[in-house]
Amino acid sequence: MKDSQQQSTDDVDEQSDINRCFQKYQKELDCRHDKHERLVKLSRDVTIESKRVIFLMQRNSGPNKCDEVLEQAWQKIKDIQQQKFLPIAKELQGEDPYQFLRAYTAGLQEYIEAISFYHYLKSKTLVTLEQVQSDLTYTVPSVGSDDLQEKTISVRVPPSEYMLGLADLTGELMRFAINSVGSGNLDCPNEVCAYLRRMLGGFESLGQVSREMGRKVSTLRQSLQKVESACYALQIRGSEIPTHMLKDVFRSGTDNSYMEERDMDD
C-alpha cells in the first residue's frame, strides 16, 4: 500500500499547469490567513488599550482632575490611532474591508465606546460617524513613488459598527452617573438620564436591525432604568442620606449587574 502511495506521489508533475495553479491558491490563502491573524492581534490590543482609557476616565472623573484626566485620555486615544489603527489601515490596503471586518470589529466597537465617552465628558456631545472615520483616516507616502507622492488609507467604520459601539456607551454613562454622586455632583444623574433617553429614542427609531443590536438596546433600557431609579432616590431621599453615602446606596443595585454586563461583552 505504501509503495502505491509513494508511486502516486512520484507521478505528480510539479510543473503542470494544474499543480502550479493550486500552489498559487495555497499562497493566497496562507497570506489571507496570516493577514487575518495579524488583524485579530491588533484588534485585541485596541480592545485592551480602549478599556484602559475608559477605566482612566471612570476612576478620575472628579471635578478637580477632570481636565487633566481628559488630556491624558486624549493622548492615549491618539496613541491607539497611530500605533494600532494605522497598522490595521495598512493591512487593509487594496482589500475589501468587509471581508476582514470580523477580525477587528471587537476592537473597533470598544474604541468607539471609549472615544464617545471621552466626547461626552469633554463637551456633552455625541461623537459622529464622520468624526470617528476622520480620526481613522491617514495620509502616508506612496510606496515606490519617486516624487514623494502621498496617498490616503483608512480603517473602514461601517455605520452598523458605529451604532454598536455607541450602544455600549450607555453602560459607562450609567456607572459614571452613580460615581459622580459620590464626588458631590448631584446634577449628573439627571443630565445622564436625559442623554440616555435621547439615545434610546434614536435606537428605537431604527427598528429591529439585528439580534446583536436588539440585545444592546435591551441593555440600554436597563441602564436607563437604573439611572432613573437613582434620580428618583436622589429626589425623594437625597435630603435624608449624607452625600458621601449616596453613592453606596445607588451602587448596591447597579454594580453587580454592571460587572456581569462587562464580563459578557469581554
pLDDT by residue (tens digit) across 132-177? 999 999 998 876 655 568 889 999 999 999 999 999 998 899 889 8
Q: According to the model, what pLDDT value does residue 67 have? A: 83
Residue 154: φ, ψ to 5°: -155, 160
Q: Would you place residue 44 in the very low, low, confident or very high pLDDT band (cuts 50, 70, 90)?
A: very high
Please answer whether residues 193 and 180 qualify as being in contact, where contact means their C-beta atoms are separated by less than 8 angstroms. no
**Any residues with CB less than 8 A from the CB of 175 and at least 6 apart, and which?**
58, 254, 258
Residue identified by cell 427609531 is 205
pLDDT at 262 > cutoff 60: no
- Once rounded to an integer, what is the mean pLDDT over residues 72-97? 93
CATH of 21-157, one of 1.20.58.190, 1.10.10.60, 1.10.10.10, 3.20.10.10: 1.20.58.190
User: What's the N-to-C CA distance of the chain in angstroms?
Assistant: 51
Average per-residue pLDDT in the chain? 81
Q: According to the model, what pLDDT value does residue 47 have? A: 96
Domains 21-157 and 158-266 alike in fold: yes
pLDDT at 197 > cutoff 50: yes
- Once rounded to an integer, what is the mean pLDDT over residues 119-130? 92
Q: According to the model, what pLDDT value does residue 165 have? A: 92
**Any residues with CB less than 8 A from the CB of 67 and at least 6 apart, and which?**
none
Q: Would you place residue 118 in the very low, low, confident or very high pLDDT band (cuts 50, 70, 90)?
A: very high
Please answer whether residues 140 and 151 qualify as being in contact, where contact means their C-beta atoms are separated by less than 8 angstroms. yes
**Any residues with CB less than 8 A from the CB of 237 and at least 6 apart, and which?**
249
Q: According to the model, what pLDDT value does residue 11 have? A: 59
Q: According to the model, what pLDDT value does residue 10 have? A: 54
Q: Would you place residue 41 in the very low, low, confident or very high pLDDT band (cuts 50, 70, 90)?
A: very high
pLDDT at 24 > cutoff 70: no
CA Rg value for the chain: 25
% of the chain residues with pLDDT over 70: 76
Can you give the length of the chain in residues? 266
Q: Which three cell numbers stand for residue 7?
A: 508511486
Q: According to the model, what pLDDT value does residue 261 have? A: 45
Q: Would you place residue 108 in the very low, low, confident or very high pLDDT band (cuts 50, 70, 90)?
A: very high
pLDDT at 31 > cutoff 60: yes
Please answer whether residues 254 and 175 qualify as being in contact, where contact means their C-beta atoms are separated by less than 8 angstroms. yes
Q: According to the model, what pLDDT value does residue 132 have? A: 96
% of the chain residues with pLDDT over 90: 42
Characterise 158 by phi-psi region: left (phi > 0), alpha (psi -120 to 50), beta (else). Answer: beta
CATH superfamily of the domain spanning 158-266 = Translin; domain 2 (1.20.58.200)
Strands 150-154 vs 137-141: parallel, antiparallel or unpaired: antiparallel
Residue whose C-alpha is closest to residue 137's, from 157, 110, 111, 112 = 157
List, in sequence order, the alpha helices (H) in 125-240: 129-135, 159-182, 188-205, 211-237
Q: According to the model, what pLDDT value does residue 55 have? A: 93
Q: According to the model, what pLDDT value does residue 183 have? A: 72
Instruction: For the chain, give every domain's residue range.
Output: 21-157, 158-266
